[in-house]
Amino acid sequence: MKKLAFIWSELTNSFWFIPILIILCALGLSAVSIYLDQLIDFNTVTYFKYFVTESADSARSVLSTISGAMIGVAGTVFSITLVALTLASSQFGSRLLRNFMHERLNQVVLGIYVSTYLYCLIILNVVKDNDGMQFIPSLSILISIFAAVANIVLLIVFIHHISVSIQADNVISDISESLTKNVEFIFSEEIEEDSISNPSEDVEAIIENYSKHTTVKSSESGYLQYMQNETLLNFAIENNILIITKHRPGNYLVKGEKIFDIYTNSDIDQEAISNLNSNFITGKSRTPQQDAEHAIHQMVEIACRALSPGINDPYTAITCIDNLTSTMCYLTKVKFPEKYRYDDDGNLRYVLRPLTYEGMLNTSFLQIRQFSKGSPAVVIRLMEAMITIYQFTKFTEHQKVVCRHAQMILDLAESSFEDDHDLKDMKERSQIIFNNN
């Protein structure tokens, strides 16, 4: 079910799914409205008769005007979207195009304009005034007029949305919101104990208890997007075997590369082993469903681009640091996935490559620190971020990682700051962490 949920999520987030769904709804609406026009003579309905088109020529003129205008505006909307994507790609990086493509309003606007065009085209085709037969679908024409008015308002809303959505603060805010939702979904369980349990296993010694070794390799190249850990664990328990994974979602797999090792004492159906590849989904790009570092990389890319000599925008980088700080503060209190999984008897059955707090912190700040040389304001904000995160940490393991980052930031300041006052300010701030450690 989780795999189907992942596929459904990818499908609904694609750029074409919502427009096609709206088009299908428009086709259904046209059939219903034509059917109602056949049943009811709206010319006799009180007040409604003032809005009814009584001649076939007028009906064709109205429908032709609306359909032609809608397909023209649809082209304009598509052009505006492409311009916005081009600007976003050049300013924030091409990896952020996925975020703009997934904007629901962009999908809805394109779908509504195309569907209005198709609706008018279908209604235009059923207008009859020849061979003694006259059929003017009054209700259907009125619906198309209301749709045209609504689409004019929608165009204004769309232009406003596009102009706002490519502003740096809004782009960062949207990524931060997506990152927050993704992290809260993946790390939904909080730790209430006073310490973090870090169980260790002598995996090499356990492997020696098994006589046979099988390797499962990737059937295609691409990024690992989805991985059914629970299914693999259940397979290992049912067959009394040990599975050791080599990758986690977000890693790039080369065709023929080892995905995981299987250790057994008896033969296992090779077809069953081959079917284990169905527990993995690979694709051309990374996705956020199981890859908690995906949105972090997007935020880091914006910050690094802002710190490049060609752009030199420290304020955008500082905004990215602030949002990443919020995420890392949340992660100080959550439970990260366990590396070792056991059966009911306490036997090790599954070893995975989990995300760690240290890894998430490294992903968030290492590259920004490396690019921030020559920008004291950004380096100082990095130290302030470490101070804030340190104040939220409850576990010694997390505090050590934060202190290590603070020391690297201080070393950067000592080697790159030209103003003694800036360096003095940095050292005073760093003591907030080091004095408490």
Beta strand segments in 246-292, E: 252-253, 258-264, 280-283
Q: Which domain holds residue 11?
A: 2-166
Residues 35, 145 within the same domain = yes
Residues 17, 93 within the same domain = yes
Residues 187, 141 within the same domain = no
Q: Picking from 84-93, 100-109, 165-174, 220-229, which range would have the lowest pLDDT averaged per residue?
A: 84-93
Q: Could you give the CA distance from residue 352 to residue 392 in angstroms, rounded to a whole number?
A: 28
Residues 424, 317 within the same domain = yes
Per-residue pLDDT at 282: 84
Predicted confidence band of residue 183 (pLDDT cuts 50, 70, 90)? confident
Residues 412, 371 within the same domain = yes
Residue with the bigger pLDDT between 198 and 61: it is 61
Mean pLDDT confidence for 238-254: 87
Concatenating the DSSP letter of every residue in 121-184 gives: HHHHHH-EEETTEEE--HHHHHHHHHHHHHHHHHHHHHHHHHHHHTSHHHHHHHHHHHHHHHHH
Residue with the bigger pLDDT between 9 and 232: it is 232
Residues 95, 142 within the same domain = yes
At 79, is the secondary structure helix, strand, or coil? helix
Residues 32, 134 within the same domain = yes
pTM of the model: 0.73
Q: Is the pLDDT of residue 253 over 70?
A: yes
405 lies in some domain: yes
Tell me: the pLDDT tens digits for 359-415? 999 999 999 999 998 889 999 999 999 999 999 988 888 889 999 999 999 999 999
Q: Which residues contact 408 (CB under 8 A, 6 or more apart)?
A: 369
Predicted confidence band of residue 1 (pLDDT cuts 50, 70, 90)? low
277 lies in some domain: no
Mean pLDDT confidence for 323-350: 88
Per-residue pLDDT at 207: 87
At 86, is the secondary structure helix, strand, or coil? helix
214 lies in some domain: no
Query: Which tokens in the block code for residue 333?
Result: 């209190």
Number of domains in the chain: 2
Residues 162, 310 within the same domain = no
**Token match 């890693």: residue?**
251
382 lies in some domain: yes
200 lies in some domain: no
345 lies in some domain: no
Per-residue pLDDT at 42: 63
Residues 112, 188 within the same domain = no
Tell me: the pLDDT tens digits for 261-316? 888 888 777 777 777 777 788 888 887 777 888 878 888 888 888 888 877 888 88
281 lies in some domain: no
Residues 43, 81 within the same domain = yes
Beta strand segments in 219-311, E: 222-227, 242-245, 252-253, 258-264, 280-283
Other Cβ atoms less than 10 A from the Cβ of 117: the count is 22
Residues 87, 119 within the same domain = yes
272 lies in some domain: no
Tell me: the pLDDT tens digits for 372-388? 988 899 999 999 999 99
Residues 300, 405 within the same domain = yes
